[in-house]
Structure formats: C-alpha cells, structure tokens
C-alpha cells in the first residue's frame, strides 16, 4: 500500500479541476477563465499565508457585472461538487483497501474486527449468532431541505464517479485512458451546461420519488451486495450460516408521510405515495424475475415443485411466468390507483409473503436437487431484496404534531356535548381516552364529518387515519407524534386510529424534542405503562423517538446531548424493569447539532444497554446521497451499521463514573445558560440572523416541500431547526454547534480537579469522546473571518456589529478551550484526511462567501433581479456542497 493513501485523492481533484478549466475556456472564453483563475490563486495565496486578503479579493470581484458574477459563482460551485465526487470516489477506494487489508490501522473498522474482538472478549459463537439473527437496523429516509443538488445533476456526477473508478484500473492502455478522459470532459461539460438550481419547489410526491430513485439506482444492488460481504465475514469467523432470506437492515421513509408543519402533505398525497411505492416495487421485482427466467432453464426439480407444475422440461420457468404475470397485474393496479382509473381484473400480490412463497418454492427445489450454487445466485439476491423491501419498497411513517390530534378530539367532544377536551386536565383526558379505547361502541357517527365541528384541519387528521385503515399494515411504519409532552398525546393517536376503524393500528411513537420534553419523557412513559390497557398493547415492544434538532436549538449542542443521553438511560431502565423491548429511534441529521457523527461513534456513544440489538435512525437530506447514493459506498455503510449495532449490543460501553455525571451536570448548566443568554436573551440575535446570514434568502431556494417556518413571522422559536443550522453554516459561524459548549469547557478548565476529570472523560468515555470529536470537526470548518465579511458588507448597525464581535470572541475562546483539553496545537491534527478535505475546499468557498455577501447586498437594494437571484442560489448551493454536512 502507498504510504500516502490520500495521494490518489489529490490526483483526482487536480484531474477534475483541469477538465473543468478546459470546459470553462471553451464555453465562456479565456477572459472569464482567467478571472476565475486569478480569484482562485488569490484565495489560495491568502489561505497559505494564514491571513485572508479580503480587500484584494474584493477588488477582483467588485468590477464584475451581474452576469459575470453568476458565471464566476457557477465555476466555483461546480468545482466543489467535483471535489465531493473525488472524495466520495476516494472513500470507495479506501473501502476496497479495507477489504484487501482489514487489519491495516489506517482503514475503517468493519465487521471482521468486531467479530474478532467479540471472540477475544469471550462471547460464544452461539451468542453472537443469536444476536445477529434477531438484529434490527431500520434506516428512515427523510427529505429534509438540505439536499440542494438536482437529481439530473446527480446522475451526471454519478457518471463522473464511474469514469474515475474505471481510470483507476492499472491495465488501461494509453488509448483507453485518453478515451475515458474525453468522456470525463463530456460529462463535466454536460453538468456545466445544466441549470444547477431547482426553479420549482418539489412537491412531497417529488421528494418520495427521489427516495425511490435512491433505492432503484443504489440500494437495490447494495443490499444483496452487503449481505454477501457479511456472509463472507461470518464464514471467516467460523459462525454458522444464517437463513437464506436473513436481512437485518430495513428501510422506511418520511417522504409523503411527514405532515408536521407541512400543509402540502395531505391524506391524498400519502395515499398516492404508498401506491407509487408499490408500483416501483413491482417494477423492480419484474426486472429480477425476467433475469431469473433467463437463468433458470434447468429441468431437475423437486417433487414439491413438480406437483405444482406437472411434467415439464422447464418447471422453474413455468412458476416464474406465473409470478411475472401477477407482478404485471400488481403494477397495473397501482398505476390505476395513482391515475384514479378503474383497476384491471386479475390477482396481483397483496402481501410479501405471497411472493416469498413462490420464490422459496423454487429455492427449496434447487437445493433439493443439488443446485444450491444456482439458488445462491440471483435468486438469493431477490429473496433478500424481498426480505428488506417487501412489496411496498419501504414502510411509510406518518408524523403529525400533537396539538393537531388534541384539536381533533376537542371537536369530537364538543360535537358529542361532552365538553371541551382541550380545557380538561391531563388526568381527565387520560380517563376519557382509556375509557373510549376500551369501549366497543363507535365514538362518532358519519354525521360528525358533515358537521360544523369538523373543520378542514380536523377532517385532514381523520382522513389520514382513514388512509391508514385502507392501506393495511405492510406499507406503514410508525405514527410519530412530534412535540409529544404528555401521556394523553400518545393515547389520543391510538383513539383516532380506532375511530377510523384501523384493524391493525400503526405503532404510536412519541417524539421527545425539547429539553423539557426530554426531561419529562420518563414520567410520561411510566404513567402510560401503569395503565393496564396501554401496557398490554405494547408488550411486544415500544418505540420512542429522541429528537436532536429541536433540543439542540432549544438548549445548545452540549445541553441537548446530555439530556438525550440521560433520557435514553432512564427509558432503557424503565422498559427493562417492565420486561418490554424498547427501540430507540434517533432523529439524526448531517450536522453536529442534529446528532451527525460517524456511525460507530454514534452508536457506541449511546448509554449501555440502550441499543440491545435494535436501532432506528433517520438519514436526512444530503447524507442520503453521500452515504447511499452509490452501491459500493452504500453496501459499506450498511455493513458499518450492522457491525456497530452488534458491537454496541454485545460490548456496550461501561457505565459513566459518578464524577463524570457530576461534571456533565456542571458543564451543561453553564452551557445551557450561556447558549440561552445569547439565543433567547439578546434582542439583537434575530436581527443579526436575518441581516447577516442568508436566512431570509433561503426561502427563495426550492429546497424542499416544507415551509422554513412553522408559523409566518415570529422569532427564532418559529424557525425550523434545519434552516436555523443551514443559515449559520452558510456564513461559517456554525453557531448552533458550539455556542455555550466553549464557555462550559473554559470554565471547567480553570480548575485542576475538573481538568483531570475532563481528560479522563475524553479518553475513556465514548459519549464524551464523541462530543469532543464532533466539536473539533465543526470548529475546524468554522471561520470567524468569513462571518466578519458578511457583517462588513451587509450591516452598519452598531448593535449587530457588537453582537457579531461577541460571537466571534466566544468562538475563539471555544477553540482555545478545546485545544487545551485535547492537547493538540491545531484542530484535526488527529484527522489529516478531514483537515486536508477542508483545506482543499477553502480557496473555492472563500470567493463564494464574498460573492454571496455582495449578491445579498445588491438584491436587498433592488428587491428583485432574476440574474442576481440565480447567482445567489448558486452560492448557497456551492457553499452547501463545500461544507458537506449542512443540515
């Protein structure tokens, strides 16, 4: 192996940069290319000197007219996207290296290392096998508005990545390499010639189709590929084989089901998305069956199969043709439902088990007649896809805010003359809900839906429950209640499903988001478990969602992280005492303030016993593409999830020491107070956010179907957590990720005894190690000088300038405190790959930041200008590409 494993990455970045330069010279002319190159060289020189020559860069940018600014912004943005492709490709290269050299310390930790450590720790093969057999990892794809790249460009970028992969082949001839370079330039030219900005905001159905495309183009191949890799690792470790259709990883989605604050997600939309998902699933299985028809031409078959087909020279094809016909009918029925046309006659597949029965019959026959090698080929892949995706492609979660359910029940009780539900005490609500859940009579009649009590919002809630009743359980996952606070919030959804006559109710999952909600979660769930009716209904398992974004927005990163940890500890203990399996659902994102961290770090930093073989995690925004957009990278990340879940289950971290808990309490008291002092206590904060950051301009970018605010107007409390993070990231201040934490560390490090405790925590406690590592990563991406550029161009308000100076000073103190804690002179000294990744992007993001501030100023003067708006959107997308984990 090469001593410098990142040399190929530098070569790829240089190659893509050269090809982009050639396209620029050809398409926009040498003068503009020279302008871009002059700006780039000035930015590189400034970064190399360690001091940004802002005046020099501004002198280069100020004379440019609006149209030229747009082209310059596009050039730098395009390079950052190409750099991301090179880095993603390099990850694939390192993953292959990991497979060739699994013991190498520079490669990632995978299942092989975990199995070896379990053996060394004395875990028996039977225990590991049993744990694996019951392991459950569910990844929930969500369409949060941080994926800024258009799907049409993603496809072009995937082709660029494929070409880079082929160029890595050592046996290429000179002519072949030249041909690949020519194709590479064609793809870069095609990307340059494509509008990178969405001109229309996607609908929830568009978002769902984007999720389906990820499955079709990547995960459909990645799941069986990862399972074959896992099979190999288990065999190498001497573990017995698991069932042929064993797949511990499943997928769910919020796209088309998450209606919390999104008026565009309706019952009609949810129904359409469910039908589209089944249409896509049928289409994908049809492709598999066509391949199986081509392959399974043999005549030897078991008596069981021949009893079904009768004498035949091609019995497998007879069965597969019947399967193909039923899949065609299934697809046609779904097409008809989406188009609201009459459904065709015929029997399609209505459950996964029906399709599995047919395929398993073929599998048993092949194995019975000595053709196991053929059964282990394409057929095994299809069986595993069926086990993972079912006939519904993925399970759709429903999410709604708790007050919408309370309002619906208030309308019902007023219609019945039973009083105002919303004004009742919590005890009265629980008594009413339990009584009605236990009652056999219907609560309301059809007249209610036609009454004045049933307004549009109430009707929408009840109509959603009717969709749940009509669809059946196979395509549905969890009903998530955002802003869950009390036991009645959970019972209310159970009753609403009963009112809609849902025969197999969706599991009801409270989402505890704010600091107060997290702290009150244990009391809420204990009250519910003390209700015999409720406990009986969750004996087979309870799922609880832990919110990251709103808790961090409410209390700051450190305060939220400790509250999430303590809440999980308490909930794990409560459900263990009741003998009920608990699955914790983590609402993570890509940024530090949304719980973003490497998979293994994220799972091993959870409290001991909280994983217990079951984990559910959201994969949000741009992280879906980064982690699952290409089959080989997706297969690797799926294995990482399995390995980390197995490790966290059988080798959980030790309980934190009492002095560590005491120290965390001290740290978070200071941190939360310091964070809220600024975010909630400084009247200039909202004005600073809306003046200095592009928070207001973000609404111009067609990022997602959901509005950026829960309510029009309002302050920070009305702003959704994702735009809150996104806006601060654009100006490189990264405020949500560190504010308060630095003050807490600085205060603790003044005392020798606390310093010793902190150093013990950072070296021995995975939870705190994760906090430190994530903080260091985000501080390395922060740049107070960049934030000051925005201030200089966009405000002369003394209060805003005062606040900006204060925030930059707090950031500097945070960096100093972290260096003191880690003992490292520079950030990311322990992570050269990440440090280089940030450094190579800076000369391209710096001009984009200056451009963005200039464009914001010009647009605010003119209010509306198509060219300037396009250029601004390009800078937002480009900076997001440069920062990577923005949401």
Q: Is the dihedral of CA 77, 83, 87, 88 positive or negative?
A: positive
Return the CATH number at 405.
3.20.20
Strand partners, 547: 587
Same domain, yes or no: 746 and 887: no
The set of catalytic residues is: 144, 553
Same domain, yes or no: 300 and 312: yes
What 3-state DSSP class applies to 148?
coil
Same domain, yes or no: 825 and 843: no
Tell me the C-alpha distance between 590 and 549, whole Å: 11
pLDDT of residue 1: 43
Domain for residue 261, yes or no? no
Residue with tokens 């196979």: 474
pLDDT of residue 429: 98
Task: Indicate the residue among 604, 629, 650 that finishes a domain.
Answer: 650
Range 329-354 average pLDDT: 95
pLDDT digits (tens, 9 = 90+) for 430-484: 999 999 999 988 899 889 999 999 999 999 999 999 999 998 889 999 999 999 9
pLDDT of residue 596: 52
pLDDT at 12 over 80: yes
The Cα-based distances of 279 to 89, 222, 286, 351, 414 in angstroms read 32, 21, 11, 13, 42
Same domain, yes or no: 83 and 184: yes
Tell me the average pLDDT of the chain: 90
Domain for residue 494, yes or no? yes
DSSP state of 697: G
pLDDT at 335 over 90: yes
What residue numbers bound the domain in which 840 lies? 1-108+151-194+831-887
DSSP 231-277: HHHHHHTTPPPPPTT---EEEEE-TTTB-TT-TT--HHHHHHHHHHH
Domain for residue 673, yes or no? yes
Instruction: Give the model's confidence band at 551: pLDDT under 50 very low, under 70 low, under 90 confident, else very high.
Output: confident
Residue with tokens 């464009």: 855
Same domain, yes or no: 738 and 791: yes
234's tokens:
């288990």
Minimum mean pLDDT range among 199-203, 574-578, 681-685: 199-203
Minimum mean pLDDT range among 345-349, 577-581, 582-586, 829-833: 829-833
19's tokens:
């090809």
pLDDT at 360 over 50: yes
* Structure-model confidence comparison of residues 158 and 431, the more confident one: 431
Task: Indicate the residue among 369, 389, 409 that finishes a domain.
Answer: 389
496 close to 478: Cβ distance less than 8 angstroms: no
Domain for residue 453, yes or no? yes
pLDDT of residue 64: 86
pLDDT digits (tens, 9 = 90+) for 574-627: 999 999 999 999 987 554 444 456 788 888 889 999 999 999 999 986 788 888
Strand partners, 617: 139, 586
Maximum C-alpha span of the chain: 90
Tell me the C-alpha distance between 688 and 315, whole Å: 72
* Structure-model confidence comparison of residues 672 and 105, the more confident one: 672
Tell me the C-alpha distance between 573 and 519, whole Å: 15
Same domain, yes or no: 620 and 516: yes
**H helical segments located in 693-751:** 721-730, 735-738, 741-748
pTM: 0.91
The Cα-based distances of 97 to 106, 109, 599 in angstroms read 10, 12, 19
Helix (H), strand (E) counts: the chain? 39, 8
Q: Is the dihedral of CA 718, 719, 721, 724 positive or negative?
A: negative
Neighbours of 420 (CB within 10 A): 10
Minimum mean pLDDT range among 222-226, 726-730, 799-803: 726-730
What 3-state DSSP class applies to 547?
strand
550's tokens:
């709103």
Residue with tokens 């973003």: 596
The structural domain count of the chain equals 4
Domain for residue 201, yes or no? no
What is the Cα 825 distance to its own chain's centre? 33
Same domain, yes or no: 444 and 532: yes
pLDDT of residue 881: 83
pLDDT at 803 over 50: yes
Return the CATH number at 367.
1.20.1440.90
Same domain, yes or no: 668 and 555: no
Same domain, yes or no: 40 and 69: yes
Strand partners, 510: 481
19 close to 181: Cβ distance less than 8 angstroms: yes
Same domain, yes or no: 789 and 854: no
**H helical segments located in 424-484:** 426-438, 447-450, 456-471
Instruction: Give the model's confidence band at 703: pLDDT under 50 very low, under 70 low, under 90 confident, else very high.
Output: low
Domain for residue 187, yes or no? yes
pLDDT of residue 493: 98
Same domain, yes or no: 416 and 558: yes
Task: Indicate the residue among 603, 626, 650 that finishes a domain.
Answer: 650
643 close to 110: Cβ distance less than 8 angstroms: yes
What 3-state DSSP class applies to 141?
strand
Angle between helix axes 66-100 and 866-883 (nearest 10 degrees) is 20
Residues above pLDDT 70, as percent of the chain: 93
Domain for residue 207, yes or no? no
pLDDT at 106 over 50: no
Residues above pLDDT 90, as percent of the chain: 68
Strand partners, 543: 583
Residues, the chain, total?
A: 887
Instruction: Give the model's confidence band at 101: pLDDT under 50 very low, under 70 low, under 90 confident, else very high.
Output: low
Domain for residue 791, yes or no? yes
Residue 196, Cβ density class (10 Å: 0-12 exposed, 13-18 middle, ≥19 buried):
buried
Range 16-45 average pLDDT: 90
Minimum mean pLDDT range among 28-42, 357-371, 375-389: 28-42
Same domain, yes or no: 423 and 384: no
pLDDT of residue 63: 86
pLDDT at 99 over 80: no
* Structure-model confidence comparison of residues 832 and 259, the more confident one: 259
pLDDT of residue 253: 96
């Amino acid at each position: 192996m090469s001593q410098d494993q990142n040399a190929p990455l530098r070569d790829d970045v240089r190659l893509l940069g050269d090809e982009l330069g050639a396209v620029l010279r050809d398409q926009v002319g040498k003068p503009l290319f020279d302008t871009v190159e002059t700006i780039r060289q000035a930015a590189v020189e400034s970064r190399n000197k360690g001091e940004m020559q802002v005046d020099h860069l501004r002198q280069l940018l100020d004379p440019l007219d609006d149209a030229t600014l747009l082209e310059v912004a596009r050039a730098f943005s395009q390079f950052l996207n190409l750099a991301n492709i090179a880095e993603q490709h390099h990850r694939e290269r390192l993953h292959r290296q990991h497979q060739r050299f699994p013991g190498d310390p520079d490669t990632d930790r995978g299942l092989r290392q975990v199995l070896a450590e379990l053996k060394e720790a004395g875990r028996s093969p039977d225990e590991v096998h049993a744990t694996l057999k019951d392991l459950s990892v569910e990844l929930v794809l969500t369409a949060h508005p941080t994926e800024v790249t258009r799907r049409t460009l993603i496809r072009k970028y995937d082709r660029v990545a494929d070409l880079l992969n082929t160029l890595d082949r050592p046996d290429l001839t000179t002519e072949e390499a030249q041909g690949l370079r020519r194709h590479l330039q064609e793809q870069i030219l095609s990307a340059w010639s494509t509008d990178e900005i969405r001109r229309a905001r996607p609908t929830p159905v568009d978002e769902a189709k984007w999720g389906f495309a990820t499955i079709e183009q990547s995960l459909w191949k990645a799941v069986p590929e990862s399972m074959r890799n896992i099979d190999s690792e288990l065999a190498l470790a001497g573990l017995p084989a698991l069932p042929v259709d064993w797949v511990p990883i499943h997928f769910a989605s919020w796209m088309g089901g998450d209606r919390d604050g999104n008026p565009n997600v309706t019952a009609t939309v949810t129904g359409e998305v469910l039908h589209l998902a089944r249409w896509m699933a049928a289409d994908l299985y049809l492709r598999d069956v066509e391949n199986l028809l081509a392959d399974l031409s043999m005549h030897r078959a078991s008596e069981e199969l021949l009893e079904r087909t009768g004498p035949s020279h091609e019995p497998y094809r007879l069965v597969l043709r019947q399967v193909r016909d039923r899949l065609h009918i299934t697809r046609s029925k779904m097409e008809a439902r989406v188009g609201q046309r009459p459904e065709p006659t015929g029997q399609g597949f209505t459950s996964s088990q029906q399709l599995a029965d047919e395929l398993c019959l073929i599998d048993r026959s092949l194995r019975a007649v000595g053709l196991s090698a053929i059964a282990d080929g394409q057929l095994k892949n299809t069986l595993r896809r069926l086990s993972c995706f079912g006939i519904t492609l993925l399970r759709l979660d429903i999410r709604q805010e708790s007050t919408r359910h309370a309002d619906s029940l208030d309308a019902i009780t007023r219609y019945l003359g039973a009083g105002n539900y919303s004004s009742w005490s919590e005890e009265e609500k629980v008594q009413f809900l339990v009584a009605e859940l236990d009652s056999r009579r219907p609560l309301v009649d059809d007249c209610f839906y036609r009454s004045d009590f049933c307004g549009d919002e109430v009707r929408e809630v009840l109509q959603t429950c009717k969709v749940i009743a009509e669809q059946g359980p196979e395509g549905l996952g969890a009903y998530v209640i955002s802003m869950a606070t009390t036991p009645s919030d959970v019972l209310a959804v159970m009753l609403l499903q009963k009112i809609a006559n849902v025969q197999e109710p969706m599991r009801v999952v409270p989402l505890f988001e704010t600091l107060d909600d997290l702290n009150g979660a244990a009391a809420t769930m204990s009250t519910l478990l003390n209700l015999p009716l409720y406990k009986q209904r969750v004996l087979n398992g309870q799922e609880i969602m832990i919110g990251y974004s709103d808790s961090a927005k409410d209390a700051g990163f450190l305060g939220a992280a400790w509250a999430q940890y303590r809440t999980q500890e308490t909930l794990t203990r409560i459900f263990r005492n009741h003998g009920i399996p608990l699955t914790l659902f983590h609402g993570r994102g890509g940024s530090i303030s949304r719980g973003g961290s490497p998979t293994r770090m994220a799972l091993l930093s959870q409290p001991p016993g909280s994983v217990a073989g079951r984990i559910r995690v959201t994969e949000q925004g741009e992280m879906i593409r980064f982690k699952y957009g290409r089959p080989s990278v997706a297969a690797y990340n799926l294995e990482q999830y399995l390995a980390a879940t197995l490790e966290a289950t059988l080798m959980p971290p030790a309980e934190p020491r009492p002095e560590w808990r005491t120290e965390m309490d001290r740290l978070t008291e200071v941190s939360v107070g310091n964070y809220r002092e600024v975010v909630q206590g400084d009247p200039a904060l909202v004005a600073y956010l809306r003046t200095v950051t592009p928070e207001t301009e973000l609404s111009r970018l067609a990022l997602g179907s959901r509005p950026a605010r829960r309510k029009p107007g309002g302050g920070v409390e009305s702003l959704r957590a994702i735009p809150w993070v996104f806006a601060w990231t654009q100006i490189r201040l990264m405020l949500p990720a560190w504010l308060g934490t630095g003050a807490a560390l600085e205060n603790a490090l003044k005392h020798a005894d606390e310093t010793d405790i902190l150093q013990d925590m950072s070296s021995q406690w995975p939870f705190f190690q994760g906090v430190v590592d994530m903080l260091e990563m985000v501080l390395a991406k922060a740049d107070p000088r960049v934030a000051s550029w925005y201030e200089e161009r966009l405000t002369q308000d003394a209060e805003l300038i005062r606040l900006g100076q204060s925030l930059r000073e707090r950031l500097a103190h945070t960096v100093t405190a972290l260096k003191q804690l880690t003992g490292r002179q520079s950030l990311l000294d322990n992570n050269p790959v990440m440090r280089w990744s940030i450094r190579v992007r800076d000369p391209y993001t710096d001009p984009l930041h200056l451009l963005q501030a200039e464009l914001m100023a010009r647009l605010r003067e003119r209010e509306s200008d198509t060219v300037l708006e396009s250029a601004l959107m390009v800078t937002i997308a480009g900076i997001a590409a440069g920062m990577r984990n923005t949401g």
